[in-house]
Amino acid sequence: MSTPQSIERQASPNFSIARSPFGNSYLSQSPIAQESIARDLAEYSEDEVEQQESDDGESSSESESDTSTLRPDVAHNSMASSYRRPSFVAFGGTRAAITPHPGVDTAYLTKKEKKQSRNEERSLLRDNHLAPPKHAEPAQRSAFSRLYRRLFSTKRPKTEADLEVPPEAIFTAQPSETSALLPNSAQESARTHHERLNRQWEAAVAAGKIKTTWQREAKTLWRYASPLVVTFLLQYSLPVASIFTVGHLGTLELGAVSLASMTANITGYSIYQGLATSLDTLCAQAYGSGKKHLVGLQLQRMVYFLWALTIPIGVIWLSAEKILEMMVPEKETAKLAGLYLRILLLGAPGYSCFEAGKRFVQSQGLFSATTYVLLIAAPLNAFMNWLFVWQFKWGFVGAPIAVAITDTLLPILLLLYVRFVDGRQCWNGFTKKAFHNWGPMIKLALPGLIMVEAEFLAFEILTLASSYFSVTHLAAQSVLSTLTALTFQIPFGISIAASTRVANLIGATLSDAAKTSAKVAFVVASLVGICNVLLLSSLRNSIPQLFTSDPEVIRLVSSVLPICAAFQLFDALAADCNGLLRGLGYQEIGGYINLVCYYVVAMPISFGTAFGLHWELEGLWTGVAIALGLVAAAEAWFLIKADWGEGGGGCED
């Protein structure tokens, strides 16, 4: 199970957006991944290769019966180089595609993605009056219907140019959905229909006739972002459940959970998540190249690797009590945190296996798998926390036991999904080959490990610093960090959806449509940020009572919450700008801006105000608030100046 404020990011700077519902939408051909695939294939005998190719061909014959729609590598949306506050990434939903410009480097789509791509393109053609409407226009509309259509219709208003008869009309006048698309000809085959649609789409794009509306982009953003937000909140509910239950035991216990979570993040979970990001490239490229049996091989190899690393991680967690006693002034807090980590170690193998398994299913386009798993695991985790801590009266130890069980249950549920629902086609059984060829995997994994570790460290330093004030301050910091990470899940999901939508449109050379989509995302992020500001401000005296019964902790949280509420708008805008930068292929800019603002600006201000001016928690969060404001302003300025015409070609003069 993930812990408070955990995150997963991408490892390869050549790979696309994080495992969003649009996972390998922008898969680039990593030389390291290609080297790994070549090495793996070299270990198979000729008979094994023929057998595997036969099996892969049978499993993919249905999807290859269609024309091969392709996807762009224009965005290069590596989230590894875009520093963000720790969050959860367990993507759900489905990804959408728009066929890229023919000159763009591409990667193969699954059959489902091809269908989504065609539907999206056909819908855009209709909205631009270049294809017949899906439903016949009624003779008369009511006043309400006309108002609704005016406000929410995705169709672009007709211009004089639309009223002109095109020189080479493709469709007859007033066609219907069932009309023959080619007059005076036999019913065309599905393949011919798709090829003709592709030609029409490419001609419309080349002629600059494809436009979009804010209504369409708002609906698309909702469709993309809603499953992401739900999935993020589900996964974040796992650690929140423990904080809720333990927080009401006492201030000491709440502070210990925060300290244990920090230690688990830095020394364990960040390592698992960072290293597992290499599968985003390895599994996706193995699947995209048609070598489906290698997807399961990469999964096995990563699981064994992470399990091997669990040994040194376990040594640290077993010794955590003595280590923490040297770092924090409160020895009793260190003792409870050490106990928490010793129990948590039982679930570490399961957690690492789940991190690798997520990439296994996502590389196949099965992004809803983790959502279904969490829909079962999240409520069960909350129930176990309540049952063990309060009903069985196990007290503090009940929370880590619930966590360990949940961690072990997650890969089991994912395995059941693969076995009985989908994803089994990429599993060819256990093989000794998984113990060979670890070099490319490690080479791809290390950048992700470094980046994720840096992200964890930045915010967990605040937790460690708060322990030097008092146990009460540490407990309050646990509540504040949980709240801000929880509110961040919504704009973060929106940012991923916006990133993918913009990258899709840029990949199809629809820069005007991409700008419209970006403006809609910016407005939505602003509204979400304002709502978060109002929520935390108005409920600043009530929200802390959900986490603890200690009046001093409640008072302290209430006093700092206005600062946390004040930067919610900046937080949402910064997340949105990060997503748009990734969509344009400027993720390096976002990474530099975030790293400078957090490590060069935020940390000195936080420590200076907290310890130098004795602002304590208010000081720690003041630096974060200033950093987020600078991030939002700097990235917004860069987006205004960026060249959207080429989707990553530099800034305008």
Q: What's the rounded mean pLDDT across residues 22-50?
A: 63
What's the rounded mean pLDDT across residues 243-256?
A: 92
Task: State the pLDDT at residue 455.
Answer: 63
- Note whether 523 and 440 are within 8 A (CB): no
Span 277-305, average pLDDT? 87
CB 363 within 8 A of CB 23: yes
With a CB cutoff of 8 Å and minimum separation 6, the contacts of 249 are 389, 395, 396
Burial of 308 (0-12, 13-18, 19+ CB in 10 A): exposed
- Alpha-carbon span 79 to 281, nearest angstrom: 13
Task: Tell me if 560 is assigned to some domain.
Answer: yes
Low-confidence winner among 12-21, 378-387, 549-558, 623-632 (lowest mean pLDDT): 12-21
What gap in Å lies between CA 554 and CA 550, rounded to an integer?
6
Q: Identify the pLDDT of residue 51.
A: 63
Q: What pLDDT score does 16 carry?
A: 32
Please tell me the predicted confidence (pLDDT) of residue 199. Answer: 79
The answer to whether residue 180 sits within a structural domain is no
Domain count, the chain: 1
- Higher-confidence residue of 11 and 517: namely 517
Q: In the chain, pLDDT over 90 holds for what percent of residues?
A: 38
d(Cα 147, Cα 130) in Å, to the nearest integer? Answer: 24
Residue 460 lies in a domain: yes
Lowest mean pLDDT segment, chosen from 40-49, 218-227, 481-490, 598-607: 40-49
Side-chain-side CA neighbours of 304 within 13 Å: the count stands at: 17
- pLDDT tens per residue, range 474-522: 999 999 988 988 898 899 889 888 887 888 788 778 888 889 999 999 9
Look at residue 504 and tell me if it is in a domain.
yes
pLDDT given at position 644 = 81
Query: What percent of the chain has a predicted confidence (pLDDT) above 70?
Result: 74
pLDDT tens digits along 293-336: 899 999 999 999 999 999 999 999 999 999 999 989 889 999 99
Average pLDDT in the chain: 78
Q: Which domain holds residue 575?
A: 23-66+72-79+215-641
pLDDT score of 103 more than 60:
no
Q: What pLDDT does 180 receive?
A: 46
Give CA separation, 174 vs 132, 276, 366, in Å: 7, 54, 39
The predicted-structure confidence for 58-77, as pLDDT tens digits, reads as follows 555 444 444 333 333 333 33
Q: Which of 71-85, 174-188, 430-444, 629-643 has the lowest mean pLDDT?
A: 71-85
Whether 122 maps to a domain, the answer reads no
Q: Does 3 fall in a domain?
A: no
Q: Poorest-confidence range of 190-204, 223-237, 271-285, 570-584?
A: 190-204
Q: Tell me what pLDDT residue 428 has.
A: 87
